[in-house]
Structure formats: C-alpha cells, structure tokens
Amino acid sequence: MKERIGLRGHWTIEVRKNGKLVKVIDFDNQLTNLYKNDVLTQLNSGTTNDLQIKYLGIGTGTNTASPTDTQLQAEVFRVQPTSRAITADYVQTIWVIPVQIGNFTYREIGVFAGDATATLNSGMMISRVNVNIEKTESMEVTFIRRDYVTI
C-alpha cells in the first residue's frame, strides 16, 4: 500500500456590487515554505507554530507569489475570519469585506496564522496569492478559502 498526504488550498472570491453578484473568481492557492516546514515539524516532533487561520491580509504588492514569501509585499489592512468550519476533506474559512472598508485595488492576499494579530505583517504567512480586484464603496467582497488535506 502506498500512502501519501497532500495539502492544497483553493480560493473562491465573490464580488457583489449594490448587493448583486457580479463576479466569481476561482483559483488554486500558493502555500509557503513556512507552512510546509511547520507541518513537517509537527509530524516529526509534535512542536510547531499555531496553524489556526487568524487573519486575511490584503495588499497592493505586485511581485509574483512564491513559496519563499514570508510577508505580503505591501500589506494595507487585515481582517479576521467571518466564519470557519471543517468538512470531511477541508477547512473552509470565509472573510467578508463590507462596502464601507477596504476600498482600493487589491493586488495580493495572504493568510496568517501563528502569533498573527491585527498588526500588519505579524504572524506566520501560510499562503500568498496575486489578485486584481478593484473594490469601491458600492462593493462587498467575500473570500472563501478551502484548505484540503488528502490521503
């Protein structure tokens, strides 16, 4: 028997304008080496950073996402999850950015765990991806992230 454990993330981003769904974006995630190394450390010794997803950081940086990234290039603000749940194969985390905040062009998003706080660039960035979403005061953006564990 051959065993294999896999980790992968997937994003769905829903953009609503004046309450009406106008765009849905689906794409796979870029996990970081920090995340991979913490999972390996946990399997080896049982000690690791706290991997609970605590914040979504949004920024204006345009450098291409890479596994070696440790921060967003230009983080502007961050929010805590609106909801989080486990299904049979994944953890789903949702963040909703309402109309009144975060009105600028999003170029990068990152997920933060470990000792992440509301302070920009704090915590362990477990993933970073590039996006291009121009958010205005009439728009609400919902970020849905699914972290899959496969065996």
- 30/36 Cα distance (integer angstroms): 11
- Mean pLDDT (the chain) is 90
The more confident residue out of 99 and 50 is: 99
Per-residue pLDDT of 80-122, as tens digits, reads: 999 999 988 889 999 999 999 999 999 999 999 989 999 999 9
Q: Encoding tokens for residue 34?
A: 């920090």
Task: Indicate the residue type of 85.
Answer: A
Per-residue pLDDT of 17-27, as tens digits, reads: 999 999 999 99
The DSSP bridge pattern shows strands 6-17 and 139-150 to be: antiparallel
Q: What is the DSSP letter of 31?
A: B
pTM for the complete prediction? 0.89
Residue 71: pLDDT band (50, 70, 90) is: very high
The more confident residue out of 148 and 104 is: 104
